[in-house]
Amino acid sequence: MSIPSDVLDRVKNYYEKFWERTERPLSFIFTAPQFGNDSWIDSALWEVRKKYGIQGVSRQAVQSAAERIAGLKIKLATIDLSTISQSIHKVASVFTEIHTNTYKGRYELSLASKFMHFCYPDIVPPFDQFAYAALCFNMRGRNYNINRSRPPRNNHDIEEWLKAFWDFHNLLRPEFIQLQTEVINTRIPAQDRGIAKRAITTCKVCDLVLWKWRQ
């Protein structure tokens, strides 16, 4: 298996178009994540929600969630899929527990995983429904019984998605490294390449390849 050339081009074009307006601002916010600081978590979550256009999450819901997330004491050091899945699930579940007139307590896997991805860009992939669907059609996804009609909603489901994701990542890792290097050197302004090396990980590149493969 290899990545189709049109998918490679779409990933490169994504960074050419969205580095300045989306990825760069978020990368600077998350240079030094502050998990115990609810005001930082509040602003970081809200910026992720705005930059990625995640719908249905009100400003009030983010403010209410921030203090609870600050109290979770999340600390990840290695790719331990069980610990990562539990951490993502805990953050996503905070929103489910919040009920206001403007928010219905949805399970916010997309927002939680994207927030966690920027905190730990090397070891936490961002959840995207299109990338997830592409993974479901792949042999790696079928090996772990992930189902595109039933996105993850608990620890076990998230861990199975992570297993499928990292299996796919490791299968094509040399191609992801090559694509990562090319993107940083040819699509990112020279003055931003320092922060880009932290933000554009092979984990992020793998997610984008899956996303663009499905489009």
Compute the chain's Rg from CA coordinates.
17
Say how far apart CA 1 and CA 15 lie, in whole Å: 24
Can you give the pLDDT at residue 100? 52
Residue-range definition of the domain harbouring residue 31? 5-214
DSSP letters for the chain: ----HHHHHHHHHHHHHHIIIIIHHHHHHTSS--TT-HHHHHHHHHHHHHHTT-TT--HHHHHHHHHHHHTT-----S--HHHHHHHHHHHHHHHHT---SS------HHHHHHHHHHHSTTT-PPP-HHHHHHHHHSHHHHHTT-BTTB---SHHHHHHHHHHHHHHHHHTHHHHHHHHHHHHHHTS-GGGHHHHHHHS-HHHHHHHHHHHHH-
**What is the identity of the amino acid at 123?**
I
State how far the alpha carbon of 175 is from the alpha carbons of 11, 140, 171, 172, 178, in Å: 13, 17, 9, 5, 5
Which tens digits make up the pLDDT trace of 112-155? 999 999 999 999 999 999 999 999 887 766 788 888 888 999 99
Per-residue pLDDT tens digits for 111-122: 999 999 999 999
What pTM did the predictor assign? 0.93
Contact 191, 165 (CB under 8 A): no
Structure-block tokens of residue 138: 């792949």
* Total domains in the fold of the chain: 1
pLDDT value at residue 98: 73
pLDDT of residue 32: 87
Q: Render each residue's pLDDT in the chain as its tens digit; 215 residues.
A: 689 999 999 999 999 999 999 999 999 999 988 988 999 999 999 999 999 999 888 899 999 999 999 999 888 988 899 999 999 999 999 988 875 555 556 889 999 999 999 999 999 999 999 999 999 887 766 788 888 888 999 999 999 999 999 999 999 999 999 999 999 999 999 999 999 999 999 999 999 999 998 76
The rounded distance, in Å, linking the Cα atoms of 70 and 186 is: 38
